[in-house]
Chains A and B, each alone.
Chain A
Amino acid sequence: MESLARRCNPVTLLFAVLSLAALSVSGMRPAFVCNEIITRFIRDGVMVLALIIPVTAGMGLNFAIVVGAICAQVGLVLAVDYQLPGAESLLLIAAVGVTLSVILGYFIGVCLNRARGREMITTILIGFLATSIYQLVFMVGYGTIITPHNTEMMLSRGTGIRNMVDLQHFRNLLDSIWLVHLGEIEIPLFMFLVVCGMAATVKYILHTRLGKHFAAVGFRGDRVELLGLDSSRIRIMAIVLSTVIACLGHIIFIQNIGMLNVYTAHLNTDIFSCAALLAGGATVSEARVRHALIGIVLFHTLFVVSPQAGQNLFGNPALGEYFRSFVAYGTIAVALVCNLQRRGADGILNRQKDRDR
C-alpha cells in the first residue's frame, strides 16, 4: 500500500479526482462520455506516444511535434490538390508526410544538439517558426509559385488555400473499419488496434539496442561519448522518430475529424499532447507508454466533461471552456514544478555540464 502511494504521481491523482468530480457534476451519461473518450483516444493517442522517445533520450518534452503535424497537413493538402481517391490518397499522404518529417526531424535534431540543456524552449520556438513558414507557403505560395490542380480549395482571389478544406474522400476512411457496437458504445476496433499497435511499437523501440542508447544518453549525456556512443546521432534519431510518429498521429487525427483547418489544425497539438502525457504520470525526464495511455484517458475525460460541469455549476459554459485551457497549461506547469523538485542536485549538475559543452 505504501509503495503504491509512493509510486502514484500527484498529478495523476489530482487528475483522477478532478475528472470524477467533474463527471458527477456534469450529469452526462457515462455511455456518451465513454464514446467521446474512445474517439479522442484514437484521435490523439499516437500524438502523445510521439513524445515518449525524446523524453527518454533526455531532451524533455518535444513541443516540435507540431512540425510532424505540419508534415501530415502538407501531405493532406497535396492529396486534395491531386484529388486522389481514398486509399491512394492515404498512401500519398503517408509517403509525403513521413519523408518530410524525416528531413525536418533531422534538422530539428541538429538544432537541438546545438542547444543542449535548453531543448524544451527550443522546440517550442521551432514549432512557432515552422507554423509561420507553413502558413506563408499555403497562404501566399499556393497560386503564385505553386500551381494548384484543384481550384475548389483555393480562395476566390486565386492565391492561397481556403481556411477550411473538406476531406470528403478521406473522412472516417479508417474509423469505419471493424466498427463494433457494445450497447450504446461504439468502438472502431481497427483504429483502436492501430493506436495500441503504435504503443507497442514505441515500447518495442525502447527495448531495442537503440532504445537502451536513448536511455543512456538521457541519463548521462556527457558520459556516453566515452562509451563509444555518438550522442549527437542518437539524439537526432530520437527526434526523427518522434516527428515521424507525430506525423502519423496527425493523419489519424485529421481523418477522424474529416475537415482540414488548413491554418490552425496543428496548433495546440503539442500543448494538449504534453499535458496528456504529464497527466498520466510522466515527468520531463521519465515517460513510459503506460503514462501516455493513462494520460490520454484522464486528460480527455476532464476535457469532455468540463464545459458541461461549468454550465451546471456556474450557469456558464464559457467558464468550462476556459477551464479546458486552464487544465492543459496548469498540468504542464504543475508537472514541471514537481519534476524540478524531484530532480536531485546531481541532475542539475549534469544539465549544467551539458549546457557548458
Chain B
Amino acid sequence: MLELRNINKRFGPETALESVSMEIGAGEIHGLVGLNGSGKSTLLNILFGSTTIQETGGYDGTYLLDGRVRRFSSPCQAIRCGIGMVHQEFALIPEMTVAENILISREKGYPFIDALFPRQFSLVDRTSSAMAARQTLHRLNLDLDPDQTTGRLSMNVRQFIEIAREISRDDLRLLLLDEPTAILNTADTDQLLTTLRSLADKGIAILFVSHRLQEILQLCDRLTVLREGRVVSCCAARDSSIDTVTRLMVRESVVKVSRTQRHTDSPPILSVRDFRVRMAGEELHGLDLDVHRNEILGIISLSGHGKLAFGAGVIGQVPFCGRLRLAGEDCSSSPCAAMIRKGLFFLSEERSQLGLLLQHTIMDNIVFAALHHNKRFHHPHWPHWLQVPDQKAIRRHAEHCIAEYDIRCTGPLQSVGNLSGGNQQKVRIAHALTLSPQLLIVNEPTRGIDIAAKERILNLFLDVNHSEGTTIVIASSELDELKRICDRIAVLYRGRLHAILDPAADDLLFTQAISGEPVLQ
C-alpha cells in the first residue's frame, strides 16, 4: 500500500535520510526503530506532509501510496488521502473538550441543517458528537466524560484521546504512531497494542515508532531499523531478538548502568506529612514520605496514582495541603522561587512546555536558573545589583556542559527547540545541575529517549549523587531503571504511600505492590 523508494532528505549540509526505501502492506503493522537523531521523525514528517519538510527544501525520491506518486505539501493533503498520525507531543487542543478534540474537522451536525447550509456553516450537534466520541473511547476501553476539558486530564489519558482522534476516522488507511506508548504503563500499553492489532485486522496499515523494542517485537509483523539516516535492516519481527536489533541500532555497545544499593540512616532532607496535591489526573491524598539526605529514591505507581504530583507539589507548581519540611525547616507555603533558592529543583515530565525556553540557545537554557536564583555568572566588573551576565563565563560553562553531558549539537548557540528529545533532556539536567541543588526531583527522566541516551542520563544521576552528594528523587514508570539506580523505591497507590521496597526485591512483589495488593516487608 505504501512504498518509499530512495528517499533522500538534507537539512542544509546535514544528511537526515539517505536512500531510504520501505514498503508497508494493508493490514500490516510495521515497526520503525532507531536511536534519537537516526531520522525516524524526519521520515514520519515526510510521510505526513509536514510543512517543515517543504520549508527546508523538500526531499528526493518517490513516495507511492496505493501505486500513485504523492508529494504532500501540507498535512491537510495527507489527511485527505487517509493518513493519520499520533504525535508524540500531542496535537490536542487543551482548551477544547474531549469530544471536540476527537472529532475535530469531522464534527457531527444536524442532518436538517446540514442539508440547508454549506457544511462549514452548519451547527455542530453536541449530543451526537459526544456520543460518537464516547463510542470511540469505548473501543479503547476508556470510560470518560467527553464534555470535559482536555487540558485538565493526565498525560496518559491525553495519549488515548490523541489515538482516539485518529481511529475514529472512517477513511483511515495508514496510521503513523510516534512513540505512542512512551508515557503509558504496562496495562495501558497492552490495551493499546490490542486495539492496534484489531485495527490492522481491518486492513489499516500501521507504522509504529517506539523505543521499546519489546513491544515492537511483540506487536509488529516486520520492522525496519534506521541508523544515521540509513536503513540497516528490514526483517520479520519474529526472526529478530532484542539483542540483534539493539546491535543494529547502535554501533558501539551500550553498557547498562547499575550500582549496589546502600542503606542510609542520614536524617531526612525532605519530609512530607499528610501531603495532598490536587493535580488533575494525578492526585495525592495524604502522602507521608521521608527523603533521606544523599540517597536516590525512586517513586513508582500506575499512572493516575500520584507519582507525578509529588515533585509538582513540593516545588509549588501545583498548590498542596499538608506539612512539608525541607532540611528541618517548615516550608509549607513557599513559592517556587524560594524553594529553588533553598536548594530544591524539579524537572517536570512536560519537557518542552515547562522545562525549556525553546526559542533560546542551549547556553541560555543551561544557566537560566543559576543566573536568576543563585546569582552566579554575574559580570565581575559591574556592581552585582545590576545583574549584568558574564557572557564569557556562561559560554565556558555551556561548552563544559556540552562536553561533559555529551549534548549532540552544533554549539552552545544552537536553539534548544532544534535538538532531539534526548538532547533536550540532557540540557535540562545540565540546567538543574548548574544550580548544584541539594535535592533534585525528576519526573520521567527517560521518557521517549533512546537506549544510549537513557543510560547516559542515568549515569549522570549516579555521578552527581556520588560526587556532590545530591539527593535525587526519580518518579518514573520504568521499574527496570529505578531498580538499577535507586537506594529505595516508594510505591504509591491511590495517592498514598503503599510500600517502600528494596530495589533488589522480586519483580512480582513490585507488580503486586503497584497494583495495590498488600505487601509484607
Contact = CB atoms under 8 A, between A and B. Distances in A.
Contact of B105 (A205, A207, A220, A229): A229
Interface in A208-228: 208-213, 215-216, 219-220, 223-228
A356 B418 CA distance: 13
Contacts of A209: 105, 107, 109, 119-122, 124
Nearest to B83: A228
A228 B51 CA distance: 12
Contacts of A211: 124
6 contacts: A208-B120, A215-B96, A226-B87, A227-B104, A349-B353, A353-B358
A204 interface: yes
Contacts of B165: 227
Given A205-B121, A209-B107, A209-B120, A225 B51 contact: yes
Interface in B336-390: 353, 358-359
A207 to B, nearest CB: 6
A230 interface: yes
Given A209-B119, A220-B95, A226-B91, 15 more contacts: A204-B123, A207-B123, A208-B120, A208-B124, A209-B105, A213-B104, A213-B105, A213-B120, A216-B93, A223-B93, A224-B93, A226-B87, A227-B105, A228-B79, A230-B74
A346 interface: yes
B82 to A, nearest CB: 11
A176 interface: no
Interface in A289-335: none
B80 interface: yes
B96 A219 contact: yes
Interface residues of B, number: 31
Given A208-B124, A349-B353, A226 B85 contact: yes
B87 A219 contact: no
Given A225-B74, A356-B359, A210 B121 contact: yes
A333 B258 CA distance: 59
B124 A212 contact: yes
A268 interface: no
A289 to B, nearest CB: 15
B49 to A, nearest CB: 10
A248 B74 CA distance: 36
B100 interface: yes
B75 interface: yes
Nearest to B352: A349
A213 B94 CA distance: 14
B76 interface: yes
A301 B105 CA distance: 42
B318 to A, nearest CB: 14
A223 B104 CA distance: 12
Contacts of A150: none
A208 B123 CA distance: 4
Interface residues of A, number: 26
Interface in B88-125: 91-96, 100, 104-105, 107, 109, 117, 119-124
Nearest to B165: A227
Interface in B111-151: 117, 119-124
A154 B289 CA distance: 86
Interface in B137-195: 165
A343 to B, nearest CB: 13
B387 to A, nearest CB: 21
B122 A212 contact: no
Interface of B: 48, 51, 74-76, 79-80, 85, 87, 91-96, 100, 104-105, 107, 109, 117, 119-124, 165, 353, 358-359
User: Considering the complex of A and B, which 9 residue pairs feature the smallest CB-CB distances, nearest first?
Assistant: A228-B79, A226-B91, A210-B120, A219-B95, A219-B93, A220-B93, A223-B91, A228-B76, A209-B107
B107 to A, nearest CB: 5
A101 to B, nearest CB: 18
A228 B93 CA distance: 13
Contact of B96 (A216, A225, A230): A216
A230 B353 contact: no
A208 B122 contact: yes
A321 B31 CA distance: 72
A53 B103 CA distance: 22
A35 interface: no
A352 interface: yes
Contacts of B96: 212, 215-216, 219
A207 B85 CA distance: 27
Nearest to B114: A209
A254 B364 CA distance: 56
B16 to A, nearest CB: 20
B446 to A, nearest CB: 24
B491 to A, nearest CB: 32
A216 B104 contact: yes
Contacts of B51: 225
Contact of A228 (B87, B95, B105): B105
Nearest to A285: B95
A227 B96 CA distance: 14
Contacts of A213: 104-105, 120
A211 B124 CA distance: 9
Interface in A277-296: none
Interface in A335-357: 346, 349, 352-353, 356
A145 to B, nearest CB: 39
A323 B51 CA distance: 50
A226 B85 CA distance: 8
A213 B63 CA distance: 30
A219 B117 CA distance: 26
Nearest to B353: A346
B256 to A, nearest CB: 36
A212 B100 contact: yes
B95 A225 contact: no
Contacts of A227: 75, 79, 91, 104-105, 165
Contacts of A220: 93-95
Contacts of B358: 349, 353
A226 B353 CA distance: 18
B280 to A, nearest CB: 15
B321 to A, nearest CB: 19
A353 B357 CA distance: 11
A163 to B, nearest CB: 41
Interface in A166-223: 204-205, 207-213, 215-216, 219-220, 223
B359 A219 contact: no
A186 B94 CA distance: 47
A207 B124 contact: yes
A228 B75 contact: yes
Contacts of A212: 96, 100, 104, 107, 124
B93 A208 contact: no
Contacts of A352: 359
A211 B107 CA distance: 11
A227 to B, nearest CB: 5
Contact of A229 (B104, B119, B121, B359): B104
A219 B48 CA distance: 23
Contacts of B91: 223, 226-227
Contacts of B123: 204, 207-208
B84 to A, nearest CB: 9
A339 to B, nearest CB: 16
Contacts of A346: 353
Interface centre among A205, A208, A215 (most CB of B within 10 A): A208
B132 to A, nearest CB: 14
Nearest to A225: B75
Nearest to A226: B91
A209 B79 CA distance: 18
A24 B123 CA distance: 45
Contact of B121 (A208, A215, A353): A208
